[in-house]
Structure formats: structure tokens, C-alpha cells
Amino acid sequence: MISGLGFVRSRRAMLLAAVAALPLMLPAPLQAQAPAVTAPAAVATLPVFADLAERLIDAVVNISTARTITLGPADLPFQLGPEGNLPEGLGDLFGDNGAPMQQVQGVGSGFVIDASGIIVTNNHVIDEAEEIWATFHDGTRLAATLVGVDPLNDIAVLRVNPPRPLVAVSFGNSEMVRVGDWVMAIGNPFGLGGTVTAGILSARNRDLRAGPFDNFLQTDTAINQGNSGGPLFNLAGDVIGINTAIYSQSGANAGVAFAVPSETASRVVAQILEFGRPRRGQIGVRIQDVTPGIAEAFGITATRGALVAEVFGGTPAEAAGIRTGDIILSINGRIVDEMRDLPRFVSETDVGATVPVVVLRDGAEQTISVRIAEVAANQPAVAVVGDPVPEPAPLPEMSALALGLTLAPITPELRSEFEIVPALTEGVVVTAVTPSSLAAERGFQPGDIILRVGTTSDQAPITTAEDVDARLVAEVAAGRTVALLFVATPDGDTRFEWVRLQP
């Protein structure tokens, strides 16, 4: 279970001993040679966290929130009257409209990044809060106002008005921290403020499926509920992550915690301070994974990159000439190893910048210049096709019908029956899918429209079932073992599916 917010380490002393030569009866030449003495190997020592904690603890704050919620009948410890009226004498506990009310409080952590009073925390710590308070290590308690939030990266920026400059910390470079490096956290677990814990960086680039830009750092540092929004430090005292989630079946620390990397957080915070919101780039494509089957269909061995399933009209991708069926291999020099890399890379590119995008098209790499536009607030930079269905068993048949697809041209009657959008004027409609067939296993549904067969980007339009069969046969004649089908849903969303042509 991933929740939004002991670690026990033992040490064994190492015993080193030098063994002297025994006074054995040896030949004279050997007795004259003194045995070589090897110096003990250097013993690694644990870092001293006390000095680091003393220097940083005043920059970490406890965040407390309050909001009033309306209770339903099931939440009440008594029954309402037959007309929903309150028992006599309880009116003072309720709001002006007579609805039962209750104040809910929350706790979390945060840290000061500017001595004038700028604090960073998690969005989920202050979400829907009516009051926000920051309590410092010396007991000072200040009211906080919200500057801006980024729900997609779970980041919030607050402002307080301190009577004097605050102790502040800086973001470091999370890309420079290696797996196995020591890290330290300070926070407010279970409301116990000023708690210092330490551990190592356990892993990088974790995808928790919490949002489109997941790239979490993982640590075994003791992180618990209430640590949310607190800093994860390197040994130089720089913030390299914002603690945001734990994996636990009990709700307490299990040695697996996650932090938003500072490379992401620092950029988002700077944009919130400048614009009041995150300002992300977008290019206007829908993408999907390059699975082994899709890679085979394209005649490539590597399953890297992001396959363009749709190019949206009026977007930078359309203006630049990116096509459906292109595989995006890199953007602005950053290699797209997995599909999920692309949304993050695009979102982190400056709005208005023109950057090179390398695509694989018709078996050859091409470089296309794309100007990054701004995406709407709280929307992903790149749309992603749903999770792929499992790989099917091989099927040697070569026609659409053998694959389990019954096809027909788009007629007014079929357009009405399946509610096909007017923009879809080409292709053939799937009118039926044979149960347990390859097509059914691949997720085909009645109403899907097959627009293209094969990986060649320039093709004559498909208008009949015979067109589909002919192109499947042509794929076999070309020596391909897998064919790629470009498919649209009735509402116009597009995706690629692959089919096995022979075992």
C-alpha cells in the first residue's frame, strides 16, 4: 500500500590482527628474511549527523491545517428527527444552515527556502485547508498563506511574515546523488516535530502511478505520516527531495519511502513563485509503449521510445510535421528510454523553446524542430494511451476474419449505430469481434475503425475489408511476422495494435 505519509541499523566491529612469524627451524637464508607487514585496510566510518542536524533543523517547520466539513447522517452519534430536524439543545453545534459540522485538523512538514518567509510542502498536506499554520523549531507559530500548488507533482508553496529573517535551505542536485549515498530527513512524524532520521538512497526513478511525471527517489530513511512535505537532505545539507509517500501495510515506516526529486521540485517552485502556478510545455501528441510486438512490426529490436498514436490538430507537433506512427527517440538531447519519460521531458522544457526531436519514421531516424507550447493548468504535457493488453498467442491466419474481425465500410447506418464522429471519413468499421479470438485478446471492440495496416506512413486510404486483407497479405509477402494496425475509436481517439502474421 502506498500512503502519503524504525529504521534499525546495526554495526559489527571489525577485528584486525597481525600474525607474526613463528620461530621455526628454517634454513639460514630464510631466517634472515623478515616477514612483510601489511597495513590494515581503511575502515569506513559512519557520517556524523549531529552537526548537520543542528545547522538545518531551524529551517524545517511543522505544518498544521484546519478545515470545517459537513457531516452526513451516517457520521452522527445520534439520529435526526423524522423530518431531518435536530434533537433539542444541539443547535449550537451546527452551521448556519442547520447542517452538522466538524473541524478536521491535519499535520505535515515543510521547509524554508527563502529567509523572507517562503516555505515548501506537499499539496496533499494543505489541500482544501481553511487555515494553515507553520510552527518553527523554537516554538514560533505563524499563519501561512498559499502562494500556489502543483497537484500533479504534489508540491505547494506557502508564505509567512516572520518578525526577523528565517533560517533557509537550498535545493541541491538530485541527479548527483547515487544509490547507496547517505541521506537525512527532518520532519514532523505523528506530530512529533523536529525529528531527525537518516538512511541511504535506495533507488531512483520510481513510478508509483501517482501522476504523469512520476520520477520518485526511494529511501530507507524512517519516513512516517506527518513527514509529508519535509526535506530529504544530502550530506552537504542541500535538499535533494521532498518526502511525499511511504509503502506500508500498517501505515507506519517499513523502510520504503519516496521523495519528489529536487530537479523536479526546484523548477516547479520557481514557476509558482514567478507565475503563481506551474508553467509546463506541451507538443500535442498521444503516445503509447513500444512493446516487443510493436517493435517487431516496425522491424526494430529495441523497445525504447514513445510511439505516436495521435497528433492533435493545431498543436506544435502538427505544425512541425510529426506524424502518427513516428517513434519519438529523444527530445532536446534527452533519450526517451521508456514512454513515460516523454511527458516529463516535455513538461520540463521551457515554454517557447524550439528543440530538436528525433523520430524513427519508415525505418530511418529524422530530426524535427518543435516549438514547445504551454499546456493548460494541471493537464499532462503528453496524453498516454491506456495500459497495453497482454501479448496474444501466435495465430498463423492472414485475413481480418481469421483474426476475429468482421469489417464493413462506414455507412450512415453504422455511423449512427456506433456514434462515429463526423471527422472519421476513412477506414472500415469493426462490426463484430469473435470471442476468444486474437482480435478480442488485443482489445478490439465493435465500432473500432481500422485506418491503416503496416508501418509505412504514406498509404492510400482503406475503404473496404478487402483492402485490409490485401495489406495483411502484403505484410506477409514482405517477410514480416507482425503487422501493425492503426485503429480509431468511434469518438476519434487513435492507437496502434499489432497482430501476429505467422508463428
* Residues annotated as part of the active site: 124, 154, 228
What is the residue whose three cell numbers read 492503426? 486
- CB under 8 Å to 426, separation ≥6 — which residues? 410, 451, 461, 462, 463
Q: Is 451 helix (H, G, I), strand (E, B) or coil?
A: strand
How far is the C-alpha of 204 from the C-alpha of 447, rounded, in Å? 42
Q: Could you give the dihedral angle defined by the CA atoms of residues 135, 136, 137 and 138, in that order, rounded to the nearest 10 degrees?
A: -100
Q: Is 233 helix (H, G, I), strand (E, B) or coil?
A: strand
Q: Is 352 buried (19+), middle (13-18) or exposed (0-12) by CB count in 10 A? A: exposed
What is the residue whose three cell numbers read 530529504? 232
Cα angle, residue 103 at apex, residues 97 and 108 outer, rounded to 5°? 145
Calculate the alpha carbon distances from 82 to 61, 85, 87, 268 in Å. Answer: 48, 7, 11, 52
* Phi, psi (rounded to 5 degrees) for 68: -105, 130
The 3-class secondary structure across 212-227, one letter per residue, is CCCCEEEECCCCCCCC
